[in-house]
Amino acid sequence: MGKAVSALRSQEEMLKRARRFIEKALDTSDIDVVIVARGVEKLDMKERPMLLADVAEPGVDYLVYSGEEWRSEKSTWIRELKKEAVKIYPWPRQ
């Protein structure tokens, strides 16, 4: 149970940082927040953003990937996201 509480606190901190970043963003028609998280591999891509339903902000698209998916060079979509991404919370190295 301790690891679950720690994971939730880490996610809460990441969301606080994301929220601050969004608040500072200039007027934009579209904001994508990419979240790289452990334990989402078995969830459908449509289910993943629902994990954030309680904290989601209007006008923000939440894209949730596993670390393996994010590090993969196979996806053109993820390669493009990486080019435009502004890191607001460090991903721990493995």
pLDDT confidence band for 69 (50 / 70 / 90): very high
CB 71 within 8 A of CB 45: no
Q: Please, what is the average pLDDT of the chain?
A: 81
For residue 16, pLDDT beyond 90: no
Cα–Cα distance measured from residue 86 to residue 90, given in angstroms and rounded to the nearest whole number? 11
pLDDT for position 17: 82
pLDDT for position 65: 93
For residue 84, pLDDT beyond 80: yes
Backbone angles phi, psi at 56, to 5 degrees: -65, 145
**pLDDT tens figures, 51-65:** 888 888 887 888 999
pLDDT confidence band for 27 (50 / 70 / 90): low
